[in-house]
Chain A
Amino acid sequence: MVVVVADDVIDVRGLVKTFGSVRALDGLDLTIRTGEVHGFLGPNGAGKSTTIRVLLGLLRKDAGEVHLFGRDPWRDAAELHRRLAYVPGDVNLWPNLTGGEVIDLLGRLRGGLDERRRADLLERFELDPTKKGRSYSKGNRQKVALVAALASDVELLLLDEPTSGLDPLMESVFRGCIEEFRADGHTVLLSSHILAEVEHLCDRVSIIRSGRCVESGSLAELRHLTRTSITADLESVPAGLDALPGVHDVDIDGHRVQLQVDTARLDPVLDALQTGGVRSLQSQPPTLEDLFLRHYGDRIEKEVEEDVEEDVEEDKEEAVP
């Protein structure tokens, strides 16, 4: 047996999964390190849920390498599942089992659950465990799955859009729980559409599209790859701003300059602006939304194909010293 250094909880390389003629995963790479909260972003149908199902051993991979805790998630599924908990995006409960029964059932099947934490979570999520599955709303069904997952003694959480039905109050309870879980040194894979949530919680993110990972890294690293927008009031506008490398969309209106700059090339632009005498300066760092849209927005898509792609490649090389 090969002994794998357990630094990476999840290690996926070149994963391919096809359904008939549809290539749902097309050479996906994904690495999740121990102790991090990893955001998993992508539009509907990008392959997020398929990836998680492969990791759970529900689907069999067609090609590639998949390691979960250094082992094969298909072959060792049940054994590996003692160490993780899963919350699906669409929680389906048995119509005649109560929420409390489902929490106990899933906990026991996983190998036991923490009684104190169970009670605490029920209270924090304000969940009534005596209602039957059929009478819970979507948000409450999600809470049942969340309580069952968080009350278990596990090292890894696989969460597939776990908060899509929660109200903002419950979402903040959820964030608190995830932060506590991370503080214990545990790992989370969080697939989500709520970018603010990902920005708030995640150490690193992976963005996937059409079954491939198109971007992966810490938020700071990814921010580096997009443009910062700058608005400045100057005493006089220096010439040649638009000739600087990485500068786009320069708009000069009297003493006022608006421009976009690749974040990695911010410094020369600031130097140039300074020579004009800065009266006021506003700089807007890219949000995760910008990052996301850069990969999925139609308008930007063309640019990506034309020139940004090359820039990014160059930037990447420069950004890593």
Chain B
Amino acid sequence: MTGTLTFLRAFLRRDRWWYVWWGLGVALLYVSQAWSVDGLYKTQAEFDKAAAAMEGNAAFIAMAGPARALNTTGGQVTWQAAAFGAICAGLMSMFLIGRHTRAEEESGRDELLRAAPVGRYAPMTAALLNAMIANVVLGVVVSASLIGYGLASADSIGLGAGLTLCGWFFSGTALLAAQLTTSTRAAYGLAGSVIGLAYALRAIGDVSAPALSWLSPIGWYQAMHAFSGLRWWPALLLGAGAAVAVAAGYAVFDRRDFGAGVVATRPGPARAARGLQSGLGLAWRLQRPAVLAWLAGLVVSGLSFGVMGDNVGDLVGDSDFSKEMMLQGRGDIVDAFYATLIVMLSLLACGFAISSALRPPGEEGAGRLESLLATALPRSRWLAGHVAITVLGTVAMLLGSGLGLGTAYALATGDSGAILRMTGAMASYLPAVLVLSGFARLLYGIAPRAAKVAWLLLLVASVVLLFGEVLKLPQWFRDLSPFEHLAFVPAESFAWGPFVVLSVLAVALSVGGQLAFRRRDIA
């Protein structure tokens, strides 16, 4: 164990921003629920009505957790935030463990360190301690912010401590995954599947088979019943589970060679498939996993929004706050509610569009462009391949989430016309999404290192959508978001004017970036 503390200090230093951002983000996730329910429902009667509507909705239960004390602020916080908080803690733990264990080993840096007079277990133990401390930080900031908000102390502490233990559990499974696989990517895949499985088990369990929820660490966390008769014994399950996973991780580490894993890496094809012979073919091959994952995520998001059906009045409540945030203050309640959700889904699609537009700078930065452009592939065609995937992928994202939303809505209400209507509404935001990816491409063409700045525009668009009405942001700031200029369908009727103008702008940005790229040096 010699050197563990030295490693731990180095990790804490390297991760100091992670602590800040994850801590802030997760605390915000919890406390914003309290803030939003208290803003949404003015009277207890209104709150009771909304709670009854939520309790009766199986989709909500599957998404969030068992419905308990939903007509109280604490109950709402627990219900809305616990499952997602556990996922956040799990992801944070997974990345913290992965980047200091398998990623270091894969890169060869770990070899250099282990040749120094340090104990065999030192790097791994320091990584584990680092992740455990990070989860303690999460638990403490969650508890403190809820107490600060004015919720009951014991339950706030219970909710925070449960989160910490949940994070410890996923730290343990991530540690084990990092020993089993040989690549960081595969380790993340395995550890991520554990988190996904834990969420899915409790989703099915909470809706129809309670026994399944008892197989999930997220289920154990929710079984602590914070703010609805707090009990501590399920925390023991989390602690024990974490201990078992960590012990298994150390046992595997003891038995494996440096750089090796337990799950053998399967050999790949010795020859390239026929499609892999052009810029487009390569771009598709490289982006395919991301395209499919985003598409699945967006379809599921669309479905889960759609199942709310047309009975949204009770959920939204009567306060000005909720009307401004959920309805943007306009029109028929169901249409305005879905129009807001449609913009939200479009913003999610922007996540794909921008990250896809940032693949070319990623490729160039990783030094993989040189060899490609030394072949007969013209640089314009290389970039065009990635542009095609970004644009077609974005179209698929919007249509996929629209189909999901419309189909689920149609099933919930019997209004089959909704499928086409909602899909069309999603499609009407295509130019706005492409403006954001076009902006990323323009930055890439001019100054590849600045391309990531494109995310800022998405941040602006999200802030304008969520807080524009609530905070009464000035109009010039709202105009920065391309979404502000399009018709608020289906609450308003579709308008060609802004659609065409934004389309032209999107094309101009993208073409500008592509032309600039042809004229500059390749890094």
Are A85 and B276 interface neighbours, CB within 8 A?
no
Q: Choose from B366, B377, B522 the contact partner of A92 (Cβ within 8 Å).
A: B366
Name, among A78, A79, A81, the residue most crowded by chain B CB atoms within 10 Å (CB to CB).
A78
Bound together, the chains give a CA A93 to CA B265 distance in angstroms of 17
Bound together, the chains give a CA A111 to CA B370 distance in angstroms of 17
Are B376 and A135 interface neighbours, CB within 8 A?
no
Are B268 and A98 interface neighbours, CB within 8 A?
yes
Bound together, the chains give a CA A95 to CA B184 distance in angstroms of 11
B269 within 8 A of A: yes
Which residues of the partner chain B approach A56 to less than 8 Å between Cβ atoms? Answer: 370, 373-374
Which residues of the partner chain B approach A94 to less than 8 Å between Cβ atoms? Answer: 286, 368
B106 within 8 A of A: yes
A130 within 8 A of B: yes
Which residues of the partner chain B approach A60 to less than 8 Å between Cβ atoms? Answer: 519-521
Q: What is the 8 Å Cβ interface bit string for chain B, positions 229-271, against chain A (1 contact, 0 not)?
A: 0000000000000000000000000000000000001011111
A196 within 8 A of B: no
Chain A nearest CB, measured from B378 CB (Å): 4
Are B270 and A129 interface neighbours, CB within 8 A?
yes
Chain A nearest CB, measured from B107 CB (Å): 10
Q: What is the 8 Å Cβ interface bit string for chain B, positions 367-393, against chain A (1 contact, 0 not)?
A: 110111111111100000000000000
Chain B nearest CB, measured from A188 CB (Å): 15
Which residues of the partner chain A approach B276 to less than 8 Å between Cβ atoms? Answer: 101, 104-105, 108
Bound together, the chains give a CA A22 to CA B373 distance in angstroms of 25
A124 within 8 A of B: no
Interface set, chain A 85-116, CB cutoff 8 A to B:
85-86, 88, 90-98, 100-106, 108-111
B112 within 8 A of A: no
Number of interface residues of A (CB under 8 A): 44
Q: Choose from B182, B277, B367 the contact partner of A105 (Cβ within 8 Å).
A: B277
Bound together, the chains give a CA A82 to CA B377 distance in angstroms of 9
Are A109 and B376 interface neighbours, CB within 8 A?
yes
A58 within 8 A of B: yes
B49 within 8 A of A: no
Chain A nearest CB, measured from B362 CB (Å): 11
Chain A nearest CB, measured from B449 CB (Å): 14
The residue on B at minimum CB distance from A87 is: B371
A77 within 8 A of B: yes
Known contacts A91-B371, A101-B276: A130-B522 contact under CB 8 Å: no
Known contacts A58-B521, A101-B271: A82-B376 contact under CB 8 Å: yes
Classify the secondary structure of A's interface with B: mixed
Known contacts A129-B270, A135-B182: A93-B522 contact under CB 8 Å: no
Known contacts A58-B373, A94-B286, A110-B376: A134-B183 contact under CB 8 Å: yes
The residue on B at minimum CB distance from A57 is: B373
Are B183 and A105 interface neighbours, CB within 8 A?
no
Interface set, chain A 154-209, CB cutoff 8 A to B:
158
Bound together, the chains give a CA A2 to CA B337 distance in angstroms of 69
Are A77 and B378 interface neighbours, CB within 8 A?
yes
Name, among B271, B282, B366, B520, the residue most crowded by chain A CB atoms within 10 Å (CB to CB).
B271
A132 within 8 A of B: yes
Chain B nearest CB, measured from A109 CB (Å): 4
Chain A nearest CB, measured from B187 CB (Å): 12
Which residues of the partner chain A approach B371 to less than 8 Å between Cβ atoms? Answer: 86, 88, 91-92, 106, 145
Q: What is the 8 Å Cβ interface bit string for chain B, positions 268-290, against chain A (1 contact, 0 not)?
A: 11111100111000100110000
Interface set, chain B 95-135, CB cutoff 8 A to A:
106
Bound together, the chains give a CA A82 to CA B371 distance in angstroms of 13
Which residues of the partner chain A approach B330 to less than 8 Å between Cβ atoms? Answer: none
Interface set, chain B 301-343, CB cutoff 8 A to A:
none
Chain B nearest CB, measured from A66 CB (Å): 14
Q: Choose from A53, A104, A111 the contact partner of B272 (Cβ within 8 Å).
A: A104
Are B265 and A132 interface neighbours, CB within 8 A?
yes
B185 within 8 A of A: yes
Are A109 and B270 interface neighbours, CB within 8 A?
no
Which residues of the partner chain A approach B520 to less than 8 Å between Cβ atoms? Answer: 60
Bound together, the chains give a CA A95 to CA B366 distance in angstroms of 11
Q: Choose from A77, A103, A105, A131 the contact partner of B373 (Cβ within 8 Å).
A: A77
Which residues of the partner chain A approach B277 to less than 8 Å between Cβ atoms? Answer: 104-105, 108-109
Q: What is the 8 Å Cβ interface bit string for chain A, positions 36-62, against chain B (1 contact, 0 not)?
A: 000000000000000001001111100
The residue on B at minimum CB distance from A148 is: B371
Are A106 and B269 interface neighbours, CB within 8 A?
no
The residue on B at minimum CB distance from A128 is: B267
Which residues of the partner chain A approach B368 to less than 8 Å between Cβ atoms? Answer: 92-94
Interface residues of B (CB under 8 A from A): 106, 182-183, 185, 265, 267-273, 276-278, 282, 285-286, 366-368, 370-379, 519-522
Closest CB pairs A-B (n = 3): A104-B272, A130-B267, A86-B374
- A to B CB contacts below 8 Å, 23 in the list: A56-B370, A56-B373, A79-B376, A81-B377, A82-B376, A84-B374, A86-B370, A86-B374, A88-B370, A88-B371, A93-B368, A95-B185, A98-B267, A100-B269, A101-B269, A101-B271, A104-B271, A104-B272, A104-B276, A130-B268, A131-B267, A135-B183, A135-B265
Interface residues of A (CB under 8 A from B): 53, 56-60, 77-79, 81-82, 84-86, 88, 90-98, 100-106, 108-111, 128-132, 134-135, 145, 158
Q: A111-B376, A134-B106 are known; give 8 further A-B pairs, CB within 8 A.
A: A78-B377, A78-B379, A81-B374, A103-B272, A108-B272, A130-B270, A134-B185, A135-B182
